[in-house]
Structures are given as structure tokens and as C-alpha cells.
């Protein structure tokens, strides 16, 4: 009996710590002045599925392939020293509840949205990056090339884009 109570108490404490960590993380993000980039995974997956349904030419799961491309892109963003301090998050749609507190904090402050028009089986992808309420830029590339362009743009290492 005592073991069950200790186990329940441990689970309650763990749940409290997880919630508190999420709140601290979202608070830190909300109060930071560092750039925020939100990768719109919902768009990428939906775009890939639509391409496949129109062409019937996809041999693999388009959603998995699009998410894999985004994972490789996120790795390149994390590895790019120009993106030091930049917050990166994925938006998976309104019904996806994972890390909702952090996503809410990110979306309530100025942020860049990165859209990938994912076409299955292509090595390079079209993309566009838009500052919420401001300018945008676009291009095409593999994950490393996209990361380089995104990092330069959001950290203003390149030319400044005026509204």
C-alpha cells in the first residue's frame, strides 16, 4: 500500500515538474528578444499529400518524407553558427497538442514563418520565409542551403529587408 502511495506521489511530482518546465521554457521564450522561426509542418505535410493525390506518383508516405526533410533542415539550422540564439519550433496544426504552451508563447510574439512547398522525392524544395506582419523572402534548396539563407535573414547577417 505504501509503495503505491509513493509511486502515485512520484507521478504527481513528475507531472508537476513537467508542467513547470514547460511554463518556464515558454516564459523564457516569450521574454527573449532572440528571433523565432516557426516551421509550418502542417503546410508541408498537406502540400506533399496533395501533390501525391493529384499525380498518383508517390511510392512512399508523403507525410513521413516531408517531416524527414524538416528534421534534416532543423538539424542544419541547429548546426549553423549564424543561427545561434534563434528559437526554432514546428507548427503541426491547431489540433496537435504537443508543447502547446511553448507554441502559444512563440506565436504571441514577432516571429518568422518558414513554409516548405514539399514535393516528394525532390532533393531541393521551394520555400518562403515571412516575418509576421512584415517582409518575406523565398528560394529553393536542400536543407543546408535553406538553413544558410534562413539564418542569414533572421539574424540580419545579410541585407536588411524593409517592409
Name the more confident of 96 and 15: 96
Measure the CA–CA gap between 40 and 93, rounded to whole angstroms.
Answer: 8
Percent of the chain topping pLDDT 90? 47
12, pLDDT greater than 50 = no
Question: Could you tell me the pLDDT band of residue 139, with boundaries at 50, 70 and 90?
Answer: very high
Which fold is adopted by the domain 32-154? Rossmann fold (3.40.50)
Q: Which three cell numbers stand for residue 110?
A: 514577432
Structure confidence at residue 111 (pLDDT): 86
Q: Mean pLDDT, to the nearest integer, of 9-30?
A: 44
Domain coordinates in residue numbering, the chain: 32-154
Amino acid at each position: 500500500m505504501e509503495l503505491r502511495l509513493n509511486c502515485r506521489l512520484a507521478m504527481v511530482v513528475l507531472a508537476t515538474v513537467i508542467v513547470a518546465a514547460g511554463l518556464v521554457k515558454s516564459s523564457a521564450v516569450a521574454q527573449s528578444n532572440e528571433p523565432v522561426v516557426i516551421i509550418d509542418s502542417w503546410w508541408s505535410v498537406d502540400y506533399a499529400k496533395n501533390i501525391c493525390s493529384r499525380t498518383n506518383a508517390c511510392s512512399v508516405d508523403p507525410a513521413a518524407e516531408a517531416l524527414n526533410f524538416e528534421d534534416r533542415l532543423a538539424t542544419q539550422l541547429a548546426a549553423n553558427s549564424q543561427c545561434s540564439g534563434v528559437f526554432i519550433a514546428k507548427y503541426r496544426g491547431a489540433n496537435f497538442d504537443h508543447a502547446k504552451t511553448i507554441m502559444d508563447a512563440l506565436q504571441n510574439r514577432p516571429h518568422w514563418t518558414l513554409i516548405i512547398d514539399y514535393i516528394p522525392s525532390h532533393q531541393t524544395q521551394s520555400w518562403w520565409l515571412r516575418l509576421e506582419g512584415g517582409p518575406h523572402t523565398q528560394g529553393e534548396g536542400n536543407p543546408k542551403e535553406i538553413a544558410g539563407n534562413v539564418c542569414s535573414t533572421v539574424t540580419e547577417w545579410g541585407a536588411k529587408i524593409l517592409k
